[in-house]
Chains A and B, each alone.
Chain A
Amino acid sequence: MNKQLLLGAEAIALGALDAGISGVYAYPGTPSTEITEYIQKNSGRREQPLRSAWSANEKTAYEAALGMSYAGKRSLVCMKHVGLNVAADAFINSAITGVNGGLVVAVADDPSMHSSQNEQDSRVYGKFAMVPVVEPASQQELYDATRYAFDLSESVLLPVMLRLTTRLAHSRAGVEGKAVRLQNPLNALYAPERFVLMPHNARRQYNNLIAMQERLEELSEHSILNRLIPGTGRTGVLAFGIAFNSVMEVRQAFCLDLPVLKIGHYPLPGKQIKALFNSCDTILVAEEGYPVYEELLRGYFGLQNGKCIKGRLDGSLPRAGELNADTVALALGLAKKEVIAVPGIMVNRPPELCKGCGHRDLYEALNSVMGLHDQHHVFSDIGCYTLGALAPYNAIHTCVDMGASITMAKGAADGGLRPAVAVIGDSTFTHSGMTGLLDAINDRSPLTVIIADNDTTAMTGGQNSSANGSKLQAICLGLGVEKAHLRTIIPLKSHLAENIGVLSEEIAWDGVSVVIAVRECIETAARKKRNPAANP
């Protein structure tokens, strides 16, 4: 049995290891976290050592990966879709500079928002940056495509985006690995005319990128990821990414003779698409994400060149969320089958903070302080503590993007809101909170920042955080928080009265204060107890 059972995310990791990467850079984010975790767990067994610790955020990760590529080595950078917003500046501009060693950016989108605040489609970013995008449809294809993406990156000297979605990232299947490729030797590129993006260089590089597009499309025409499943029907399907799986499931279950063009490599293979359109009257465009290419194929005035185009924009498929065999079957005009209904007694079971979690005690204290104020808005952020928005605490009232708690509280304070309170985790603070705190200090905006320091990145499964404990205190003092208004509490039931006291004082103070609530995540603590060797 040479097949290993791997999550899609792990298949990428194995592919990258076997492709000879010298480093992986990432910030944890569902559903991308397991790529880096797999490399961290398995790189020790490799002949050549490689770099795999967590980065402070996606931007620092992306830039480090670009630097490693500049040095001639292969690097992988991984993030969830919204992480690419953070890294977008580096990503877009790295398409202008181009790369040296192979650079692959694995971006995991989350259609249906299982664990995210939106379902943005990273293929739009790929198109925006004008780089090749690969979008495999199975775990084995993820492994093969990862290796292919590194070769492609080195052959066209561009970063390559590997896009996947939650369903594939978090689904297991047998994957067969192939021979290991050695890492690239150090070969730092002296090419200021490419890498110094002053306008005169940038213009030339941008024109080169534009000129490259024809070659990229030609490569797509011959890619193993784009292929036609022949059929004689007059209805054809253009199936993107894992939408291909839903379509093939229906094709198999209903014995349909549909031609299906599988798309897994962008820019689009124009000739293959044209051939499909020529052989069909009706084309279903099935995209796992936004109707990016459906919109393009319909044209601005919806003329469709005499063809009937179906998809997410005409309601044949749902406008939002993941596709599945059931939605695709309906779009192909197959009658919905009778299914057993969920009984009326069913109730939701939303997630909650763990029993014994320190955030519970923090929110209990905070609620009793905020209850005494007329204005009791609490700005918060992304992490386990976001669950404080739900009953029984209902303690936080915003969660927008990484680090936004501090800056939004600052803006509200500048507008006159008193008190202005932010709750942010240790990992989120180092990701994007520190700069906002500096703004508040420079502006003397009266706000209280509560850093819930549980010593880990808990929501994604307990990855190391960039700073906690005394390092967090040093950062705050270094940014200019006054020593008297940098307080520490321990969120435990037995400390409730004391914690209410500290929070009341700091929230009442008319300046920037930081209260660090220090208590280790109970999940991480339990894991350390079970397996002391794994957590030195």
Chain B
Amino acid sequence: MQTNIILAGVGGQGILTIAAVIDLAALQSGLIVRQAEVHGMSQRGGAVQSHLRISDREIYSDLIAEGTANLILSVEPLEALRYLPFLSTTGRIVTSTDSFINMENYPAMEEILLELHRTNLPVLVNAAELARKAGSPRTSNMVMLGAAASLTGIAPEEIETAIEKLFRAKGAEIVAMNIRAFRTGEALFQHQATVS
């Protein structure tokens, strides 16, 4: 088993929290993990990405080779497209449709959606709205993780255990809210799968 995931977003959006949950869940499942992240200058509102690799055998490279990512999980729609050369022909994009506009020439949303729909069965998530329904806009990353969970190759129970461990220090209420957000994302994925 090997899953190559590219996590994408804008500096400050918290993609490393998603990475931390998947890392922990993979480690709990007895799998090998390599996860490369970006620190330093780009963290200030620039495009950021993390290459996350999970496998049951030795992983050599910290980076994912072009055309071999199973999943691009993006918390911003334009950022999902930035890493397309990494996606394998059967790979999937799971992205939030909430745009983060901090530059003048941001493309029109219709164009972005058009490009997303050119990829293999994209999963488009209105993360902010679903997060609000789950209890707090701050859980949107867990909504995104839920929507992508079945593509990670890790059992959802393991992911929930990891969420519980990572948020435990913040109290039971925060844990419950994040689990709720995660399940909302999972349900949305199931729903979109049935519809298509």
A524 within 8 A of B: no
Quote the shortest CB–CB distance from A484 to chain B (angstroms): 36
* Among B28, B36, B59, contact of A1 (Cβ-Cβ < 8 Å): B28
Contact of B65 among A170, A242, A325, A354 (CB under 8 A): A325
Chain B interface residue count, CB cutoff 8 Å, equals 48
For the residues of B in contact with A, the DSSP-based class is mixed
A253 contacts the other chain (Cβ, under 8 Å)? yes
Interface contact B102-A349, CB-CB below 8 Å: yes
Closest residue of chain A to B119 (Cβ to Cβ) is: A340
Is A179 part of the contact surface with B, judged by Cβ < 8 Å? no
Residue of B nearest to A338 (CB): B67
Contact among A167, A351, A387 for B63, CB-based, below 8 A: A167
User: Are B34 and A115 within 8 A (Cβ)?
Assistant: no
Contact call B87/A340, Cβ cutoff below 8 A = yes
Partner of A174 from B33, B41, B62 at Cβ < 8 Å: B33
In the complex, B10 has a CB within 8 A of chain A:
yes
Q: Which residues of B contact A172 (CB under 8 A)?
A: 23, 33-37
Which A residues touch B79, using CB under 8 A?
Answer: 349
Q: Taking the complex as formed, is B155 at the interface, i.e. its CB lies under 8 A from any CB of chain A?
A: no
Roughly how many angstroms separate A309 CA and B86 CA in the complex, as a whole number?
30
Task: Tell me whether A324 and B27 are in contact in the complex, defined as CB-CB below 8 angstroms, given that A341-B84, A351-B45 are known contacts.
Answer: no
A278 to B157, CA, bound (A): 54
Which of A52-60, A243-251, A414-422 lies at the binding interface?
Answer: A243-251
| Residues A347 and B62 in contact, CB atoms below 8 Å apart | no
At the interface with chain A, which of B103-111, B123-131, B142-150, B187-195? B103-111
Q: Which of B62, B112, B115 contacts A168 (CB 8 A)?
A: B62
Checking A252, A345, A350, A384 against B60 with a beta-carbon cut-off of 8 angstroms, the contacting residue is A252
Query: 12 A-B Cβ contacts within 8 A?
Result: A5-B24, A172-B23, A173-B35, A245-B60, A245-B61, A253-B65, A324-B61, A341-B85, A342-B85, A343-B81, A352-B44, A460-B40
A residues with CB within 8 A of B = 1, 3, 5, 30-31, 33-34, 114-115, 167-168, 170-174, 242, 244-246, 248-249, 252-253, 324-326, 329, 337-343, 345-354, 384, 387, 459-461
Tell me the B residues contacting A by CB distance below 8 Å. 10-11, 23-24, 27-28, 32-47, 59-63, 65-67, 78-79, 81-82, 84-87, 89, 102-103, 105-107, 111-112, 115, 119
Known: A115-B39, A348-B103. 13 other contacts (CB 8 A): A172-B37, A246-B61, A246-B63, A248-B60, A324-B61, A340-B67, A340-B87, A341-B84, A345-B107, A347-B78, A347-B106, A350-B103, A352-B45
